[in-house]
Amino acid sequence: MKKLGRVYLCALIVFLYLPIAVMIEMGFNYSPYYQLPFRFSTHWVDELLMNDDLIQAGRNSVVIAIITTVIATVLGTMAAVALHRREFPGRALLRMLLLPPIAIPWLIIGTPMLVMFYWSGIGRGFHAMLIGHVALAIPYVALVVGTGLQIIRTDLEEAAMSLGSTPLHAFFRVTMLIPRIVGAALFAFAVSLDQFVISYFLATPGFTTLPVRIYSAIRKGFTPDINIIATILLLASMALVLLFALFSHFGARNDRS
């Protein structure tokens, strides 16, 4: 039974990562039509460096992701503290309302968001995408930080403040919550960087993000330079997820100690 489980796990990993490996390999294949045999070449890297539209879309994605990370981390952390440390009417309802943006498909969220922005006069573009990305990232931050707050001893903060520590110093250093906040920020960055649906609904012809640009290129027929930029995006996302897991592990270890 254990051998069967290992075989199943290996097959699942191959099923998930084989297409990614093929995508990366074809980005370094000289043929523009993905023809075999494979001939290694960095030609498509050079083509990507000359593709101003893709590079600009990548910059837009990174800028939105960084701003989203800062805003969502601050607001999400504040929301987590309020929901776990303060008593006020409707607290249980607000906790429940954090889950739907994560569980509901982004396509369902993007449609009413577009309608609301249109009728409210906000419109589409950078500011609209930023609001949408922040709105989707805040629940992730609040849940990650809130999970850490549930297992943190408040008496340690009180003891630190009684010995002269400031409330902010006690909150961030004594409780060892910084690793979880950093992990939540990395998670928010990855969510924003990979966001397609909201960006697709709220993008304008003059301003778009990398996932939307890749989708548009695929519809018209694309060359392997798309594979290169997709590989960069994929590796960046995977690195952020690994960093998130790393920081979360450190936070859990400190909590147990």
Same domain, 117 and 238: yes
Q: For the segment 225-253, what is each residue's pLDDT rounded down to a tens digit?
A: 788 887 887 787 778 777 767 765 544 44
- H or E stretch including 59? helix 52-85
46 within domain boundaries: no
159 and 199 inside one domain = yes
* 160/171 Cα distance (integer angstroms): 9
Together in a domain, 239 and 144: yes
Mean pLDDT (whole number) for 167-184: 74
| pLDDT value of position 254 | 46
My answer on whether 186 and 224 are in the same domain is: yes
108 in the same domain as 16: no
pLDDT at 207 over 60: yes
Give the CATH number of the domain where residue 68 resides: 1.10.3720.10
Rounded CA gap, 157 and 138, in Å? 25
- What is the pLDDT of the chain when averaged over all its residues? 80
For residues 30 and 90, state if they share a domain.
no
Backbone region of residue 164 per phi and psi (left: phi > 0; alpha: psi in -120 to 50; beta: other values): left
Most confident of 81-85, 96-100, 130-134: 130-134
Question: Can you tell me the distance from the alpha carbon of 116 to that of 201, in angstroms, rounded to the nearest whole number?
Answer: 12
Which tens digits make up the pLDDT trace of 115-169? 888 888 888 888 889 999 999 999 989 888 888 777 776 667 677 777 777 777 7
Residue 22's SS3 state is: helix
In a domain? residue 141: yes
The tokens for 113 are: 């968001």
Q: Which one has a higher pLDDT value, 56 or 230? A: 56
**The pLDDT value given to residue 153:** 66
Residues 159, 244 share a domain: yes
The answer to whether residues 187 and 249 belong to one domain is yes
The pLDDT assigned to 249 comes to 54
Phi then psi dihedrals of residue 110, to 5 deg: -65, -35
Give residue 95's pLDDT band: very low, low, confident or very high (50, 70, 90).
confident
* CA 71 from centroid of its chain's CA atoms: 13
Q: What is the pLDDT of residue 193?
A: 85
Does residue 241 sit in the same domain as residue 138?
A: yes
The parent domain of residue 133 ranges over 51-256
Residue 167 is assigned to a structural domain of this protein:
yes
| One domain for residues 99 and 223 | yes
55 and 37 part of one domain: no
Going by pLDDT thresholds of 50, 70 and 90, the confidence category of residue 257 is: very low
What is the value of pTM for the model shown?
0.77
Is the pLDDT confidence value at 23 over 70?
Answer: yes
Q: How many domains does the chain have?
A: 2
